[in-house]
Amino acid sequence: MNSMNGAFVQGAEAYGRLLEVFIDGHWWVVGDYLENVGKCTKRLGANAYPYLYGGEMTGRLRGSSPDVSGYASPSKEIVHRFAK
């Protein structure tokens, strides 16, 4: 027995180390979660309001394919669409 610490002191030290690891791990997880929420919110905001983030007012979502990002073209006359 090298130290004169009793069982209570050693138990308190072990609990302190466990609590430190537990709290540090949770802060890490919560920090990562909040960082991802912030990135997602910024991406959604940039897509919804591109002029606020220095983008163009094209109305297209960032990352959309240029082949399919245009307006839809009608395939038949409007009268024929609603005729029974």
Evaluate whether residue 34 is within a structural domain: yes
- Which has more confidence, 36 or 60? 36
Evaluate whether residue 76 is within a structural domain: no
Q: SS3 sequence, 12-41?
A: HHHHHHHHHHHHHHHHHHHHHHHHHHHHHH
Evaluate whether residue 83 is within a structural domain: no
Evaluate whether residue 47 is within a structural domain: yes
Q: What is the pLDDT of residue 81?
A: 66
Evaluate whether residue 68 is within a structural domain: no
Q: Is the pLDDT of residue 3 over 70?
A: no
Q: What is the pLDDT of residue 34?
A: 92
Evaluate whether residue 67 is within a structural domain: no
d(CA 68, CA 48) in angstroms, rounded, equals 19
Evaluate whether residue 82 is within a structural domain: no
The total number of structural domains that make up the chain: 1
| Predicted confidence (pLDDT) per residue in 15-40, tens digit | 999 998 888 888 888 999 999 998 88
Instruction: Report residue 81 CA to chain centroid gap.
Output: 42
d(CA 42, CA 37) in angstroms, rounded, equals 9
Domain coverage including residue 23 = 7-60
pTM for the structure as a whole:
0.42
- Which has more confidence, 62 or 17? 17
d(CA 55, CA 42) in angstroms, rounded, equals 13
